[in-house]
């Protein structure tokens, strides 16, 4: 299961089983010896079917597996209630890899044949989510094992081995600055000063292109040492590295934090929403500090510190610090408790309690954000945190409505957009000058017009966004809405200005980065668009699936049709227009049957779809790029 899915029975390769039968075997193999209830398997693979039909499909999949496995069929044990993979009759590469990662890292690296179930899927939304979680876990274990072996090779003076392992690590994630430093030190010890400096130049380029940041101070200190050695002003060999525990990550110079929703200690729904609201505002305020990486709410809100633990959350989100807390509302008073935890040790390094009247609740958020910034960033100058100041007491109700709207808008559908719009309109009726509500509503109006009406009437959205900026010139959602609307209107220069203004206001707004990536694609810079969207995905590792459609669009525009298909197929419940993209890409790849299925799905969802109306809403700056793009639709029979 590491790499492409393969099965051998009796020492001989087995033909690939049907997709869902193979998925069934893969799932059982990750739970060896466990009797998995039939209801669980049916819900995992056939949730869209009725109960009887799902159980029938499960029986057919089991029969297909047994036929294909031949002598190995006895490894699958099934009764009327559950299905089990007999561990005594099955050998699994994943189990061997996980065991070796603890006992024999070198053997583990040899066993790792590639990402979990590489190229397998999509199967079902439930199975695909499970497979993605498994893939992330195993990739993280592989990277940790690589790092462990890299450090061991460095400690033992095996420079060439260390350099090869570090290069493999960078192929997984080229933004690992501590790995670049390891390579630079290896070159320095070997007297390859120019090679070390070339590695530094590559790091500088990647950090600038992907994150818009410069190398950390430890890297700059190492560069000074390399230059001194090359000039003969210092020793040719660098001092021995500080001993570290095998696999221990080097602490990055740029602090990183994830904020969890504050737990409601009151039983009413208002306290639960308020706990999320406190956390969301803290995220927004912390994100204004460019020296601090703050994980997006869609990712951090998936976790509970009590259920998962700080160390595991930190590993999964790639952060050094975790901010959590609780909220209790009693009458006209609120108590907020907050604490900052170091993920690698679980040690609480700061805690505070705030008792306030509800009239000044938003001042609490500013106070928390400032305290955390001072604690985590240290000597880095604090940026002004003003978004939570000066709001009137009645803003509490509006704030909860905005939170509900944000949650609904994460789902791209007419129904969820209508729900979000209703919440925002009520929030604005309560607080007409709420810039965030106005900016979000402007963005929703752009999306509704563009996605569902297939139109270009962005006037109402521009008006709303302009009103939001009158109340708060730094409101990122308003700048994002104007950036999207003006891109549709083909005013690329002004659109770019608003995207940059939004990034300056909140550099960690993942949604804004994705939209800026789409703008770059239309501006005839699709490669830059991909890099920007990837940055958004890094900030929000559990991002909404529609981010993949943006990656797919850029790849489609570049003519990288196989990669585009892979991206589009990672979307959950794709809207109608995704099927149009799939039909065109599959046609260009020569998959006529797949293209026909995509066309059928498109017209089933939108019988009135026409390429003429669709083409009006794609503001490609370069006519030749637009012609190539739409030519793929015509080739697919979409007119």
Assign domain 256-393 to its CATH superfamily.
TolB, N-terminal domain (3.40.50.10070)
> Would you give the DSSP letter of residue 451?
I
Assign domain 157-230 to its CATH superfamily.
Tetratricopeptide repeat domain (1.25.40.10)
What pLDDT was estimated at residue 381? Answer: 31
pLDDT, tens digit (0-9, with 9 covering 90-100), for 386-432: 333 444 444 456 766 887 787 787 777 778 889 999 999 998 998 88
What pLDDT was estimated at residue 102? Answer: 74
pLDDT class for 483, splitting at 50, 70, 90? Answer: very high
Inter-residue contact 162 to 186 (CB < 8 Å): yes
Give me the mean pLDDT over the 514-539 stretch.
89
CA distance 121 to 115: 13
Return the percentage of the chain with pLDDT > 70, whole number.
84
Total residues found in the chain within this entry: 639
Average pLDDT over all residues of the chain? 80
pLDDT, tens digit (0-9, with 9 covering 90-100), for 316-365: 887 878 888 887 877 777 777 778 888 877 777 777 777 777 665 556 55
Give me the mean pLDDT over the 567-575 stretch.
88
Q: Is the pLDDT of residue 540 over 50?
A: yes
Numbers of helices and strands, H then E, in the chain: 29, 11
- Give this prediction's pTM: 0.50
Inter-residue contact 310 to 527 (CB < 8 Å): no
User: What architecture is the 8-138 domain classified under in CATH?
Assistant: Orthogonal Bundle (1.10)
CA 147 to each of CA 150, 155, 179, 393, 434: distance values in angstroms, whole numbers, following the listed order:
5, 12, 8, 51, 48
What pLDDT was estimated at residue 395? Answer: 43
pLDDT, tens digit (0-9, with 9 covering 90-100), for 85-131: 987 888 889 988 888 887 888 888 888 888 899 888 788 887 887 88
pLDDT, tens digit (0-9, with 9 covering 90-100), for 291-319: 567 787 767 877 776 677 888 888 888 78
User: What architecture is the 530-639 domain classified under in CATH?
Assistant: Alpha Horseshoe (1.25)
What pLDDT was estimated at residue 211? Answer: 66
Inter-residue contact 352 to 338 (CB < 8 Å): yes
Q: Is the pLDDT of residue 377 over 70?
A: no
pLDDT, tens digit (0-9, with 9 covering 90-100), for 31-77: 888 888 888 888 889 877 887 888 899 999 999 888 888 878 888 99
CA distance 170 to 189: 20
**Beta strand pairing status for 348-357 and 333-342?**
antiparallel
Q: Which residue ranges make up each domain of the chain?
A: 8-138, 157-230, 256-393, 405-507, 530-639
Q: Is the pLDDT of residue 538 over 60?
A: yes
CA distance 335 to 145: 44
Out of 3.40.47.10, 1.25.60.10, 1.25.40.10, 3.40.50.150, which CATH number does the structure's domain 405-507 have? Answer: 1.25.40.10
Q: Hey, is 329 helix, strand or coil?
A: strand
Tell me if 256-393 shares its fold with 530-639: no
pLDDT, tens digit (0-9, with 9 covering 90-100), for 436-459: 899 999 999 988 887 777 667 788
Torsion of CA 599, 602, 604, 605, to 10 degrees: 180
pLDDT, tens digit (0-9, with 9 covering 90-100), for 576-613: 889 999 999 999 999 999 999 999 999 999 898 888 87
What pLDDT was estimated at residue 376? Answer: 45
């Amino acid at each position: 299961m590491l790499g492409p899915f393969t099965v051998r029975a009796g020492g001989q390769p087995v033909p690939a089983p049907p997709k869902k039968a193979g998925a069934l075997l893969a799932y059982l193999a990750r739970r060896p010896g466990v009797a998995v209830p039939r209801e669980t398997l049916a819900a995992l693979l056939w949730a869209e079917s009725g109960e009887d039909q799902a159980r029938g499909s499960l029986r057919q999949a089991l029969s297909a597996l047994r036929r294909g496995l031949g002598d190995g069929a006895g490894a699958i044990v099934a009764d009327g209630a559950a299905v089990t993979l007999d561990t005594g009759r099955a050998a699994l590469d994943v189990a061997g890899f996980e065991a070796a990662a603890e006992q024999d890292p070198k053997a583990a690296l040899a066993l790792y044949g590639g990402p979990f179930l590489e190229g397998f899927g999509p199967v079902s939304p439930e199975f695909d989510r499970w497979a993605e979680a498994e893939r992330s876990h195993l990739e993280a274990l592989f990277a940790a094992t690589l790092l462990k072996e890299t450090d061991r090779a460095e400690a033992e003076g095996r420079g060439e081995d260390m350099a090869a392992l570090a290069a493999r690590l960078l192929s997984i994630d080229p933004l690992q600055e501590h790995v670049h430093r390891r390579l630079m030190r290896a070159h320095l010890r070997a007297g390859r000063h120019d090679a070390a400096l070339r590695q530094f130049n590559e790091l500088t380029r990647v950090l600038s292109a992907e994150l818009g940041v410069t190398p950390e101070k430890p890297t700059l200190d190492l560069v000074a040492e390399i230059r001194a050695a090359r000039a003969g002003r210092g020793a040719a060999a660098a001092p021995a590295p500080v001993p570290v525990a095998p696999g221990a990550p080097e602490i990055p110079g740029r602090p990183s934090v994830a904020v969890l929703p504050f737990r409601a200690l009151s039983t009413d729904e208002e306290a639960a929403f308020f706990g999320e609201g406190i956390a969301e505002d803290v995220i927004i305020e912390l994100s204004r500090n460019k020296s601090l990486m703050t994980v997006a709410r869609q990712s951090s809100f998936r976790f509970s510190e009590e259920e998962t633990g700080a160390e595991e959350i930190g590993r999964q989100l790639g952060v050094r610090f975790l901010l959590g807390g609780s909220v209790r509302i009693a009458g006209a008073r609120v108590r907020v408790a907050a604490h900052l935890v170091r993920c690698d040790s679980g040690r609480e390094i700061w805690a505070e309690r705030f008792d306030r009247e509800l009239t000044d609740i938003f001042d609490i958020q500013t106070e928390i954000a400032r305290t955390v910034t001072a604690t985590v960033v240290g000597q880095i100058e604090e940026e002004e945190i003003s978004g939570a100041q000066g709001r009137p007491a009645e803003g509490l109700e509006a704030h909860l409505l905005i939170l509900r709207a944000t949650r609904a808008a994460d789902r791209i559908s007419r129904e969820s957009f209508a729900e979000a719009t209703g919440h925002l309109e009520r929030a604005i009726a309560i607080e007409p000058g709420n810039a965030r509500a106005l900016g979000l509503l402007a963005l929703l109006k752009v999306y509704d017009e563009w996605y569902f009406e297939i139109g270009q009437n962005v006037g109402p959205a521009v008006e709303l966004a302009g009103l939001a900026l009158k109340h708060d010139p730094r409101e990122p959602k308003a700048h994002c809405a104007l950036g999207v609307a003006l891109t549709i209107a083909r005013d690329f220069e002004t659109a770019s200005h608003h995207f940059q203004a939004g990034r300056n206001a909140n550099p960690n707004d993942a949604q804004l980065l994705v939209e800026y990536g789409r703008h770059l694609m239309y501006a005839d810079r699709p490669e830059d668009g991909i890099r920007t969207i990837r940055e958004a995905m890094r900030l929000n590792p559990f991002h909404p699936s529609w981010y993949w459609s943006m990656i797919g669009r850029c790849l489609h525009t570049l003519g990288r049709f196989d990669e585009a298909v892979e991206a589009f197929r990672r979307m959950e419940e794709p809207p109608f227009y995704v099927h149009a993209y799939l039909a065109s890409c599959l046609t260009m790849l020569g998959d006529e049957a797949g293209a026909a299925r995509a066309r059928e799905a498109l017209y089933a969802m939108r019988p009135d779809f026409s390429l003429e109306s669709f083409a009006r809403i794609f503001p490609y700056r370069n006519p030749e790029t637009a012609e190539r793009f739409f030519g793929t639709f015509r080739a697919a029979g979409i007119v």
